[in-house]
A and B are shown apart, each in its own frame.
Chain A
């Protein structure tokens, strides 16, 4: 862990004190601004381009009727889903990487993506269900797989390494089932399934926004309240326990929170790749602050996903390529960059 410069304690009246990290604060504000700016740009992008000024005017309620319809009914829900999904994935990834103390850890170890894909494929291929049913199927599939992995790994407590191994076994089975379903589907259903499996924001409406927003509103305070303990946990269970952190409870709450956030995000937009993996890493490099960087990761996830969706639409045309393609390519590129720079710095 690097030495930590730039943070300063702020003493409040009444004996309370607060640690202020100017750099982290600035990064969070900038990322939030970037996410919102990308959101406005995304609203303006599509078959009918709308200038940013008009978008803002319409959002404030002063636009003409046509633009009002396009913005509020068609594009705003998509952007909100993108922001919420990105934020959930960024936060979930940060929690998992911190709890597992592995920069490549992600809730996918528990088979969430594969399980959600299986649920969605069952609905698409066997039941020819609509968007809402696909979302529900994905949610059930993801949570059921996560639960199955957890229970199968349970043997007088859950050992981290066993959890990973069991997760790999279950993922292999579920992936095989997914492959089978895909070969059984007719080509139209298969095409739809592949788009879903890539992760897409196309056609998302208010029905997806409200549940996500509700879940987010409940989980965010809970997770942030336990975030302080997480920082202690990174020093090891014993040290954290000695410092007065209820280790088991904090870890359980945070893991459940991460799983719920990721499952909900996956159900809403499909298994968008690499946001959960890269957002916490990027955030940490920007804030240069040790610890889980929960808020920064959250903002980074939102900014990443919405920017990727905007870029996908600008580069390939509206509705041509889903956002997951771009996050995959960008995520891979980012990892390679990381590899080259860290090697030059002699860190790995």
Chain B
């Protein structure tokens, strides 16, 4: 995971080639349309399939019929899928730019490990058993590890390699702890094995309200960082010469990525592959400009997450497959296909 590719020289000010100038907005509108379709499918598909009419009725004229109740139930899940997907996509894109590593994902900086270790602690030592109780633990764990990685990585003088090393090291130690607890405490293992695969099934209004402020703040911060991160990606010296504030940009980017990924992980467990794959795939279409990568990632990551969730409801009827599993099983081959088709996508 830690292949550090040299930064590609590139110029943000050079106008995009004409084809790209048309293709990028067009592709983005198509992606949004696709997202709407997937979201509607997420409302309609499940153990009880609904017609588009029923979905419409439930959304806008809810009057307590059976169909309305089902739509209500699925609405929370769909909303969480949209929010968490966008958050994972954005945090992945920001991290890949920050570490100048096209393969960086939130797992690399130990955020998943932090959330998992905190949740297993909550279950085993504090006796927390409700999914809603995990949320704060997971978020605090993710945030604490994010901060720790940042300081061990050298805070303002952090380099991509140091951040990656610090993240790997802390993950290693935390996973050791996680496994030790799971081996000694069967009850914790019983709960953790379901939490670790990542699922949207437990989504509820209160969970969404809990994480929404963090997701909104993180998202805004990520978009605000698009330009400074573009400069930082050109290499430290060039960025400094261009007047970029390296330390400040890195600190804020780390903050945005941690908050986004931490909140998403808190709400639906560690869904690992979305944050890595979507920005990586998007980059081969948009080029390296974060002002395009970020909106694309924010739209297409939820398409993948919600689409996977819908598929997971259908394939194993009447049971469900957790979204984390389906995401990887669908996303993996797509990712390999992309890797084989294109010349190596550089950051």
Chain A residues at the B interface, C-beta cutoff of 8 Å: 102, 104, 152-153, 155, 159, 161-162, 164-166, 168-170, 172-173, 175-177, 179-180, 182-183, 187, 190-191, 194-195, 197-198, 273-274, 320-322, 324-329, 331-336, 338-340, 343, 348
Contacts and interface: CB of A to CB of B under 8 A. Distances in A.
A168 B103 contact: yes
9 contacts: A155-B340, A168-B1, A169-B331, A169-B332, A180-B325, A183-B197, A198-B179, A273-B176, A336-B170
A325 B159 contact: no
B260 to A, nearest CB: 20
B182 interface: yes
B152 A336 contact: yes
A343 B151 CA distance: 12
A178 to B, nearest CB: 9
A102 B273 CA distance: 23
B1 to A, nearest CB: 7
A176 B329 CA distance: 7
Contacts of A176: 197, 273, 324-329, 332
Ranked nearest first, the 4 interchain pairs of A and B with the lowest CB-CB distance are A328-B176, A332-B173, A332-B172, A335-B169
Nearest to B273: A172
A177 B172 contact: no
Contact of B162 (A152, A182, A348): A348
A65 B161 CA distance: 56
Given A162-B339, A176-B197, A326-B176, A339 B328 contact: no
A161 B343 CA distance: 10
A329 B3 CA distance: 23
A339 B173 contact: no
B272 interface: yes
Interface SS majority for chain A = helix
Contact of A339 (B152, B172, B179, B193): B152
Interface stretch (B25-33, B48-56, B183-191, B297-305): B183-191
Given A102-B2, A169-B332, A172-B331, A190 B165 contact: no
Interface string B158-182: 0101101110111111111101101
B272 to A, nearest CB: 7
A343 B154 contact: yes
B265 to A, nearest CB: 15
A327 B325 CA distance: 28
Contact of A348 (B159, B175, B325): B159
B318 interface: no
Nearest to A199: B179
Contact of B193 (A169, A175, A190, A348): A190
A191 B332 contact: no
Contact of A335 (B165, B183, B184, B276): B165
Contacts of A326: 176
Given A104-B165, A175-B272, A329-B172, 4 more contacts: A104-B2, A172-B277, A176-B327, A335-B172
Contacts of B171: 332
Contacts of A177: 325, 329
A329 B325 contact: no
B207 interface: no
A153 B3 CA distance: 16
Interface string B51-93: 0000000000000000000000000000000000000000000
B165 A338 contact: yes
B190 A190 contact: yes
Contact of B179 (A102, A152, A162, A325): A325
A164 B169 contact: no
B159 A170 contact: no
B174 to A, nearest CB: 8
Contacts of B189: 187, 190-191, 194
Contact of B173 (A155, A170, A194, A329): A329
B149 to A, nearest CB: 10
B152 A161 contact: no
Contacts of B332: 169-170, 172-173, 176
A328 B113 CA distance: 13
Contacts of A331: 169, 172-173
B236 to A, nearest CB: 14
Nearest to B171: A332
Interface string B128-161: 0000000000000000000000001110000101
B93 to A, nearest CB: 17
A172 B328 contact: yes
A96 to B, nearest CB: 13
B266 to A, nearest CB: 18
Nearest to B5: A161
Given A172-B328, A173-B328, A328-B175, A343 B162 contact: yes
B194 A348 contact: no
A166 B340 contact: yes
B207 to A, nearest CB: 21
Nearest to B187: A187
A197 B277 CA distance: 26
A328 B329 contact: no
B322 interface: yes
A322 B325 CA distance: 27
A168 B229 CA distance: 25
Contacts of B326: 176
Contacts of B172: 273-274, 328-329, 331-332, 335
A183 B186 contact: no
Contacts of A333: 169, 173
Contacts of A162: 339-340, 344
Nearest to B113: A332
B1 A182 contact: no
A165 B339 contact: yes
Given A104-B2, A183-B322, A348-B159, A336 B336 contact: no
Interface string B2-31: 110100000000000000000000000000
